[in-house]
Every structure is written in structure tokens, then in C-alpha cells.
Amino acid sequence: MTEKIIINPNNIDYLLIKKAADVLAHGGIVALPTETVYGLGGIVDKEEVVKKLYEVKNRSQDKPFSFAVFDVNKVINNYFEILPPFGYRIMEKYWPGPLTIIYYSEGNDKLGIRIPSNLITQEILKELNAPVYLPSANISGEKDAVTAEEVETVFGGKIDLIVDGGKCSGNQPSTVIDLTFKPFKVLREGTITEKDLALTFIKKRILFICTGNSCRSPMAEYLLKKYLDQFKPYASTRYEVISRGISVYPGLDIAPNMVNILKDKEDINAEGFLSAKIDRNTLISSDLIFTMEDRQSKYILEFEPTTEGRVFNLKKFLPAVLEKDIPDPIGKDLYSYEKVYYILKEAILELVDWV
């Protein structure tokens, strides 16, 4: 008979987590709970594991398995080729969760990857630190197993271990999206609907960047949000506007002069804004990136070359006579801040028409 271990997701026994990971590491087949149904886990890159999974599931070998990992950054850095920006936003929004994404590897092979949100399986994957095939725990074409008892009924004696993490929801299967189609193709609609994914696709991310994310870039963010709402009523479903800084101590308030100017001249309440530092994931997930100075554009392109063609100096949206880097007012008088406000406003109004 197949051994079964019980792990309480609210009080995880890490000795049992290690046991399950060890079985996988040595080529065993382990039934694992997910947020939808139970899956049959087998470590990737062991030929005998793949063969056994096809055998126990009675699955045609022309249907490849997707695999699961625990870390989004591993997918971005180690498995997938460069994705379009909305692909990273889909990962950001729906992983961990019931979504399998299919895309090209660096070697131009198609890969299907999922990051389960089930805490038990997450911890096992983390302990193993290796990708795991995770097809549903059923005979191909038959009912999915949503309890450990159902897994045992079908696969008892045929697999090496069953991890009983309680009943899975089983309401709907995971969604499968293929990003090798342009813009994408939903191969199986599940918990995450095609409409959900389409809304993520059409909502473009606009990113403003300055040095400290305490004056110029947040002001540009607030102004663009206001004027998009004012002149393009559909903007809230089409654009996400954010800002970041290159040299930032995260969590600082916006400069008081900028708060006052935005309140007095635009009736915008900027209190509560906190600075944030740019990171790679924000860059690669942004459709349009606007900097305040040429040196910032250069820095971004050197930091993340894949952003080429999406990075613009905001001065390009100013009249030719004003087409200069937008000056940094930090440490200067109120007049300097007001001057920056008027420059930014002119550029943003032009940008509203452009987007």
C-alpha cells in the first residue's frame, strides 16, 4: 500500500515536509494538494519519473506535462524567455494561484509552469528546490481527486506517497494560458476567467522614474492619473500609473512642497504617498517608462536592456524651446518646485493625448 502522511496547513510539520521532498528527490511519485485538486508530483529531469507518471495516469505521451515551482523569480530568470510586459503582470497578479502559463524557454522549447498557492505544496517545493511535474491526480479523462482518500482509491499501491492536506476546493480546474500566441490563447478556462486575463492585458502600466521618488515622479504620477480621468473616462480600466526612484530610501513621504502645490493648484491629496525603489520586475512589467533626465534613461537601459523601445525622457513631450531634462528641485526654494510643476503639467497634458 502507498504510505500516507497528514499535514495540517495551519500547523505545518516540517519533518513531514522534508520527508515528502526527500521522496520526490529520489524519484518517487507523491500526491500533493493544490488550491484546486490533488496532483501527482514527480521531479523534473528524471526519465523514469516521467515514464511512471504517464503509466499511472494512462496518459498519451504526446501530451506534455507542465511543472510547478515555488518562486516567481526562478521562472522569470531561469525558465522563460523574455515575455511581453503583460505576461509579467499576469504572474504578479495570479501567482501563486490556479494558473498555468505556457511560453518559450531560452532554448525555444514550450514550457508550462504553475506556482501553486497551497501552503503545504509550497513548502515541499521550497524544501526540494527543484521543479516538479504536477499533473492532476486522476486517470486521464476521469474525475479529478479532491481528497487524499480519492487519490488512495485510484492510485493506492501505484505511487510512493500521498500527502493528505485536507480537501481541495475542486470547484473549478486551474486556468491554462498560452502566451506563445499573440496576444494570448486560453487553452482551458478555470478559476481565472478569460475576461480576467484580458483585463490584465489591456490595462497598460505606465511608470515614471526620477532619482528619489519624492517629488518629480510622484507629481507626474498624480497629474497623469488626474488628467486621464478627466479627459479619458475609460482610463481607469486601460492604464495603471505608478512611480519609482533610482536612489531611494523606501517609505519616505513625498516632499512637502509637492504636497502643497498639488493640493493648491490641482486639488490633489498626495498625503500618504511613500517612496519606492525601482526593481527589475517593475521595469519588465511596464509598457511605458518615462524618466526625468537622460542619465536616468541611460541607467534604466543599462540595468535592464530589454526595456529598449519603452523608455522615454519626459522632455520629449515638451515644446522644442523647453526640451530639457526636468530639473530636480530637492533642497531648493518653493519657486523651484513650482517651476517643476508647470513643466511637468505641460508634458503630462501632451502625454495624455499621446497615450
Burial of 15 (0-12, 13-18, 19+ CB in 10 A): exposed
CATH number attached to the domain at 3-192:
3.90.870.10
* SS3 state at 200: helix
Look up the pTM and report it. Answer: 0.92
Biggest CA pair distance of the chain: 81
Fold of the domain built from segment(s) 203-354: Rossmann fold (3.40.50)
Position 170 confidence tier, pLDDT thresholds 50, 70, 90: confident
Mean pLDDT of the chain: 95
| Cα distances (angstroms) measured from residue 45 to each of 26, 52, 138, 284 | 12, 13, 22, 29
Task: Give residue 114's pLDDT.
Answer: 97
Task: Give residue 173's pLDDT.
Answer: 83
Q: Is the pLDDT of residue 203 over 80?
A: yes
Dump pLDDT digits (tens) for 124-152: 999 999 999 999 999 998 999 999 999 99
> What are the residues facing 99 on neighbouring strands?
175
Nearest Cα residue to 84 out of 192, 177, 189? 177
Q: Would you kindly state where each structural domain of the chain is located, as residue ranges?
A: 3-192, 203-354
Position 235 confidence tier, pLDDT thresholds 50, 70, 90: confident
For residue 163, report the phi and psi dihedrals to the nearest 5 degrees: -95, 110
Nearest Cα residue to 42 out of 122, 132, 121, 162? 132
Q: Is the pLDDT of residue 287 over 80?
A: yes
pLDDT > 70 fraction of the chain, expressed in percent and rounded: 100
Helices (H) and strands (E) in the chain, counts: 13, 14
